[in-house]
Amino acid sequence: MIPVNRPLFNGNEKQYLNDCIDSGWVGSEGEFVSKFETKMAEYVGRKYATSCSNGSAALDLAIRALELPAKSEIILPTMTIISCAQSIVTNGHIPVVVDCDLETFNIKTEDIEKKITSRTRAIMIVHIYGLCSNIDEILILADKYNLKIIEDAAEVHGLNYKSKKCGSFGDISTFSFYPNKHITTGEGGMVLTDDPHLINKVQYYKNLCFSNDPNKRFIHDEIGWNYRFTNLQGALGLAQLEQLDQFISRKKHIGNLYNTHLSSNFLQLPLEKLSYCENIYWVYPVVLKKHNSDWLRTKLYERGIATRPFFYPIHKQPVFLKSGLFNNESLPNSEKLYEQGLYLPSGLGNTDEEILKTCEVISHILK
């Protein structure tokens, strides 16, 4: 079976992990945690970074730290992972969704303003599949309506929006280091900001709201989470970050292989670049022009090739419909993409042979 993702550990991962074991520092204290945080902040161009247990936790922490009034409306794209909407709901706020663009898969910037009400307090920017949103246009809206910005950069480590790194925009930003991301720590996440007050809040909430006062050990004023990151994860993260620029080249190479070997007769292939960014192919998404994707996914599976469907739109998620959200809302682009889209094997550890084989099998099926 050709897996949809295979991670790549080609650098100092083993050495750093051995250092953890030899030194005994395997918990959340240890030098790899702080080294990785410092290097991520430097790489992304933010003042502060703090790690946490995964990318979903990072979103929980980011939203909580903003301390918005209860039941604030937060605007986000409907085509994204459940974590984005879940973090809004579990923090006591209301997700308001916007459709995506059919070609970039990112939020339709021109539809955001129609969804702004007197209760809107923030916009969550989520960059999708390796291309980024039109950040400047969103920042202008945020300025005009006095809204906070959360930037979820979980799919775009190292991607430049114009000349700045994604993950450096807005009030607070997040990353995930799940095994299919550009760099992985197994599970893992990070929150970044330039605001010292926000980073203190995140550190407080991720560590069970322990007090900074040593005389108040085990005395808590608030409920938080244990979302701490371990030195083992930090060891992996640091070794992976050292290779990120190579990883991006590798992802672009995979994207280009597909672009040159797949025909666009029946398939919409991803855009190589936009005016403000170059695709770093977090995944390699294709959209069938005339048909639903499930038959192609089944045929590929039968030929030993794993694929994934696109994100199921947030406004269709049964869990939210049950609670009365998104009544009868129709956001046709995201619905169409879910029906007709799929993504192909494109992990850093997937080989060129696997990519070429996938192209060959797809061409054969589509003939």
Pairing of strands 120-126, 73-77: parallel
CB-CB contact of 108 with 333 (8 Å): yes
Applying CB under 6 A, the span of 79-87, 100-108, 215-223, 246-254 interacting with ligand PLP comes to 79-87
- Residue 167 CB, shortest distance to ligand PLP, in Å, is 12
Q: Which candidate, 184, 176, 76, places its Cα nearest to that of 122?
A: 76
Q: Which of residues 290-329 bind ligand PLP (CB under 6 A)?
A: none
Applying CB under 6 A, the span of 27-35, 36-44, 149-157, 232-240 interacting with ligand PLP comes to 149-157
345 binds ligand PLP (CB under 6 A): no
142 vs 153, which CB is nearer to ligand PLP?
153
Strands annotated E in the chain: 48-52, 73-77, 94-98, 120-126, 148-152, 160-161, 164-165, 172-176, 189-193, 267-268, 273-274, 277-278, 284-288, 308-309, 341-344
285 binds ligand PLP (CB under 6 A): no
78 vs 266, which CB is nearer to ligand PLP?
78
97 vs 359, which CB is nearer to ligand PLP?
97
80 binds ligand PLP (CB under 6 A): yes
58 vs 359, which CB is nearer to ligand PLP?
58
154 binds ligand PLP (CB under 6 A): yes
Q: Which of residues 160-199 bind ligand PLP (CB under 6 A)?
A: 176, 178, 189
| 131/106 Cα distance (integer angstroms) | 8
Applying CB under 6 A, the span of 78-86, 138-146, 203-211, 290-298 interacting with ligand PLP comes to 78-86
Applying CB under 6 A, the span of 51-59, 70-78, 97-105, 233-241 interacting with ligand PLP comes to 51-59
152 binds ligand PLP (CB under 6 A): yes
Total residues binding ligand PLP (CB under 6 A) = 14
The CB-nearest residue to ligand PLP is 55
126 binds ligand PLP (CB under 6 A): yes
25 vs 105, which CB is nearer to ligand PLP?
105
155 binds ligand PLP (CB under 6 A): yes
Q: Can you give the C-alpha Rg of the chain in angstroms?
A: 21
Residue 118 burial (CB count, 10 A): 6
According to DSSP, residue 131 is labeled B
User: Which residue has tokens 């094997």?
Assistant: 345
Applying CB under 6 A, the span of 35-43, 54-62, 230-238, 314-322 interacting with ligand PLP comes to 54-62
Q: Is 167 helix (H, G, I), strand (E, B) or coil?
A: coil
- Residue 159 CB, shortest distance to ligand PLP, in Å, is 13
81 binds ligand PLP (CB under 6 A): yes
Instruction: For residue 273, report the phi and psi dihedrals to the nearest 5 degrees.
Output: -155, 160
Instruction: For residue 308, report the phi and psi dihedrals to the nearest 5 degrees.
Output: -135, 150
Pairs from 35-40 (Cβ < 8 Å, separation ≥ 24): 35/234, 35/238, 36/234, 36/237, 36/238, 36/241, 37/190, 37/234, 39/238, 39/241, 40/175, 40/190, 40/192, 40/237, 40/241
User: Which residue has tokens 């939020």?
Assistant: 107
Task: Note the residues at the interface with ligand PLP (CB under 6 A).
Answer: 54-56, 80-81, 83-84, 126, 152, 154-155, 176, 178, 189
